[in-house]
Structure 1
Amino acid sequence: MTGPTDHTRAAPTVPPGPPRRATFRLLKQLFTDRLALMGDNADAYGDVVRIAIGPKAMYLVNHPDLAKHVLADNAANYHKGIGLQEARRALGDGLLTSDGDTWKQQRRTIQPVFQPKRISRQAAVVASEVDGLIQRLAAHDGPVEVLHEMTGLTLGVLGKTLLDAELGGYETLGHSFEAVQDQAMFEAVTLSMVPQWVPLKKQLHFRTARDDLRRIADELVEQRLANPVEGGEDVLSRLIASGSADGSSRERMRDELITLLLAGHETTASTLGWAFHLIDEHPEVGERLHAEAVEVLGDRLPEHEDLRRLTFTVAVVEEVMRLYPPVWLLPRVAQADDEIGGYHVPAGSDVVVVPYTLHRHPRFWPDAERFDPGRFTAAERPPRYAYLPFGAGPRFCIGNSLGVMEAVFVLAMAARDLRLRKVPGKVVEPEAMLSLRVRGGLPMTVQRRDRVRRADAA
């Protein structure tokens, strides 16, 4: 990416950006290819870009120092922005969408569930769930929809580790969250100018999905109220205790649960989908993963301590999240005037830090489009804010440790026991919604490693 990178020199008040005559092209990209919208303009105009579409102006930030300013140093000036504002209609004021004192209270309530010691104690539960996944995959004779399987796994892990509840009976969760993401992005790109009562198919699906999510959240709360866990450390127990202490409504518990269910499964499932795609494209990586898993694990289930030994597997997960960060966009709204990289940013402006483009910045990531896990085993690492798969600052993703452990266990056990291949003719493309997912699913064939060895020997 080219353009100005010296953020200390004097600069014009208004950042560079595409001219007004490019409006129709920008609108088309906004609807059909949001990654190109961000990447093309970062390439053309540099590290701070003003993109004006109709009455809206968006400020794209694409440098580690500037990302640090927005997300950490001056975080109080930047509230949640485009996309997340629209998602509030379904998610309510959960941890993902709330701001100010509400967010601080929610964070304090949930934070203890994600303490490192507690997460490390969940390793056996995660490993058991992954073992069940591997057995299901190995039993398939024909193609399997990998993203569906990963969603089922991550919801199962979330239920047992964070909620102390079984989510296996809620098969509609994945589809409901897809409808929520579709609607949130539709409202974002249409500037919420289409009323929700308009009977578009997308909006009808959204209303059904919103009702389904609220029903599931209410059922989980009712089940825990009927069967309380004395001294429970899980999210449900803490939400109920907090609600009793401060008089919060049932609606708040519902908002928190729906948000946790979405954020807790979608990002890890997306990362695993991209991982299996990239490993299939680079079989040498799959063989190295297999060798490491055999050496470290043998035939046992992984333990938390193995995260320090599965160094290449961890590097693969990190490199997958560099190329396809599950949270590809960090949208904010400036509450007061600010200066970013020497440019004036008025109050009320949409400011977006884009990990997808930041993770491809040529100054910090040589040959950035190449899949190379060795970047994360090298002694020298890029600057902290050049790599933001979990965000940064006060809103750093609360579930990062659990998500990484889950992804590492899946890749290690899958590489040890299986070989997955995309079905012939499958074209893999990214779809930039609230998360960065594989468009249209990921059908793959599954071979057990013992069968592969016998075939190779023959």
Structure 2
Amino acid sequence: MPSTVRLKPFQDIPGPKGHALAGLLPEFNADPLGFLMNGFQQHGDLVSYRFGPKVAIGKTILAAYHPDLVTRILMESERAFGRDTDGFRATHELVGKGLMTTEGPYWRARRHILQPLFTPKRVARYTELMAEEAERILVEHKQYEGQEIDLHQAMMRYSLRVVGRALFGGDMDDAEGDLHRLIPEANRGIMARTTQIPKLPLSLPTPTNRQFVRTRAGLYDLIDRVINRSGSAGSDHSADNIVSRLREARDPETGRALTEQEVRNEALLLFMAGHETTAMGLTFGLHQIGLHADVQQDIADEIRAHHASGAGAAAYAQNRDTLGRAALSEGLRLFPSVHMTERVANEDLDLNGYLVPKGTSVFLVPWVTHRHPEFWPDPERFDPRRFVGRHDRPRYAYFPFGGGPRVCIGEHFAMLASMVLLEALLRAYRITSHDERISMKVLNSIRPDSDVRTTFTLR
């Protein structure tokens, strides 16, 4: 940072004041999305939030909402900005050491091992598997044609099967109940640890800590059972599933293979992230499509024309320039599965003309940036054509999968799985959503907290 630059002091960054003792924590916990959106609307693109008392254990966190600030923070991750935040540490406590919970040399080595497993070309190999599971969902729901179903439950089941088969090579239907209990518990545990002031060691047997430890044990027990049952834990490395490929992979610099513990950690992290991202993206995206009959009809016509041209379903799903993909992208704009992420300043730095001290945490909030009116006119309106053709928006006006060096490696997988299901569903059915809005619970991700009432009607 040039010494000639005169920066405004950190305490001058605008933001709500909060209570003397609790700060803004009660308001944040009560309605995180509304709280952060209100902060942006009242105070602008860089906002200061104090959580906890003004002195001692309290801390001030910034939120950067403008795409230019988001770009800088994401692109300078692993240099000026790190991941050693409260949420990052809580996730590490729950699921162990892996790609998503480390940084520095360990993270770079792990990225070199995992990235080749998730290139668009490699992910395309799972298209047939995804199509089989999409057809399975359609067959299972044919008996409910014209009746009200829970869209979210159907999308969770599809995602579970696709991600489970891709990772482990086997069916996970009998694990559905455990997973649908454990993953929300895990999300609640991470949120509780993240917002806990002061932080209490997990060895202290508080009710929250005991629940956190039980959830962690349950997740590892489940992932061990799935790996062992699928046959992926033996010596057979020929199966084309991700766990087998993890065992075959070698660090390109050292030639080192992953240990069984490291394989288990990565499998658990990939499963939790992939299952949630795909299911939530489909639930919220299809709900919006079910509310907008004109958009839905245009997508169905597009699919029909695609097949009439002689191209197959796989080609449509892999095409990035369709209205169908634009509709899913617009769904992720309005309802990003990961509504907020966090970085920490690794050094004193200039952020928007303010002196930000080393150690300051910074929120990046897709939920808010995706509604920035400078880049998204009428931001609450569902309009897939925002994503059709060329546009002049900044790169990080839209970042549902993060960005920079830490961009989600599962982005291609999640979008392909979503497109395969969208194509199969809209080719066969009309979707009707019965509720204007989905009631949500907000933890470290967003998800419905009640049935997403939907009807599939044969075309």
Which band: TM-score by shorter chain? Answer: 0.7 to 0.9
With over 3 angstroms needed to count, the CA separation of the structure-2 counterparts of 1:423 and 1:65, relative to structure 1, is: closer
Which amino acid counterpart does residue 33 of structure 1 have in structure 2? Answer: D
With over 3 angstroms needed to count, the CA separation of the structure-2 counterparts of 1:210 and 1:59, relative to structure 1, is: same
With over 3 angstroms needed to count, the CA separation of the structure-2 counterparts of 1:203 and 1:421, relative to structure 1, is: farther
Give how far 1:30 is off. 1.5
Which residue of the other structure, out of 46, 49, 52, is the alignment partner of 1:51?
A: 49
Give how far 1:59 is off. 0.8
| SS of 2:174 mapped into structure 1 | coil
With over 3 angstroms needed to count, the CA separation of the structure-2 counterparts of 1:249 and 1:310, relative to structure 1, is: closer
| SS of 1:224 mapped into structure 2 | coil
2:232 matched to 1:236? Answer: no
2:187 matched to 1:181? Answer: yes
- Out of 68-77 and 35-44, give the one that drifted further: 68-77
Separation (CA, whole Å) in 1 of partners of 2:283 and 2:265: 27
- Name the residue aligned to 1:319: 330
Q: How does 1:21-420 map to 2 (within 5 A)?
A: 21=19, 26-54=24-52, 55-73=58-76, 75-80=78-83, 81-140=85-144, 142-171=147-176, 172-191=178-197, 193=199, 196=202, 198=205, 200=207, 205-222=211-228, 223-226=231-234, 228-230=236-238, 234-242=241-249, 246=256, 249-297=259-307, 302-304=313-315, 306-308=317-319, 311-420=322-431
How many residues align? The count is 438
Does the CA-based 8 Å contact 2:247-2:257 persist in structure 1?
Answer: no
With over 3 angstroms needed to count, the CA separation of the structure-2 counterparts of 1:349 and 1:309, relative to structure 1, is: closer
CA RMSD of aligned residues (A): 2.7
Which amino acid counterpart does residue 292 of structure 2 have in structure 1? Answer: H
Separation (CA, whole Å) in 1 of partners of 2:198 and 2:184: 18
Separation (CA, whole Å) in 1 of partners of 2:112 and 2:148: 44
Separation (CA, whole Å) in 1 of partners of 2:390 and 2:247: 46
- Name the residue aligned to 2:457: 448
Aligned-residue sequence identity (percent) comes to: 28
- Once the two structures are superposed, what CA deviation does each residue of 1:375-432 show, in whole Å capped at 9, x if it has no partner? 11143241111111111100111011111111122222222222333456x8523333
Separation (CA, whole Å) in 1 of partners of 2:340 and 2:359: 18
Separation (CA, whole Å) in 2 of partners of 1:148 and 1:296: 29
Does the CA-based 8 Å contact 1:123-1:304 persist in structure 2?
Answer: no
Does the CA-based 8 Å contact 1:296-1:309 persist in structure 2?
Answer: no
Separation (CA, whole Å) in 2 of partners of 1:156 and 1:122: 12
Separation (CA, whole Å) in 1 of partners of 2:77 and 2:159: 34
Give how far 1:31 is off. 1.1
| SS of 1:28 mapped into structure 2 | helix
TM-score in terms of structure 1 length: 0.87
| SS of 1:50 mapped into structure 2 | strand
With over 3 angstroms needed to count, the CA separation of the structure-2 counterparts of 1:283 and 1:124, relative to structure 1, is: same
Does the CA-based 8 Å contact 1:39-1:357 persist in structure 2?
Answer: yes
Does the CA-based 8 Å contact 2:306-2:316 persist in structure 1?
Answer: no
Does the CA-based 8 Å contact 1:20-1:52 persist in structure 2?
Answer: yes
Separation (CA, whole Å) in 2 of partners of 1:241 and 1:307: 27
Which amino acid counterpart does residue 118 of structure 2 have in structure 1? Answer: F
> Any unmatched runs of 5+ in structure 2?
53-57
Does the CA-based 8 Å contact 1:271-1:324 persist in structure 2?
Answer: yes
| SS of 2:432 mapped into structure 1 | strand
> Any unmatched runs of 5+ in structure 1?
1-8, 451-458
Which amino acid counterpart does residue 159 of structure 2 have in structure 1? Answer: T
Which amino acid counterpart does residue 123 of structure 1 have in structure 2? Answer: T
Which amino acid counterpart does residue 160 of structure 1 have in structure 2? Answer: R
Separation (CA, whole Å) in 2 of partners of 1:428 and 1:151: 16
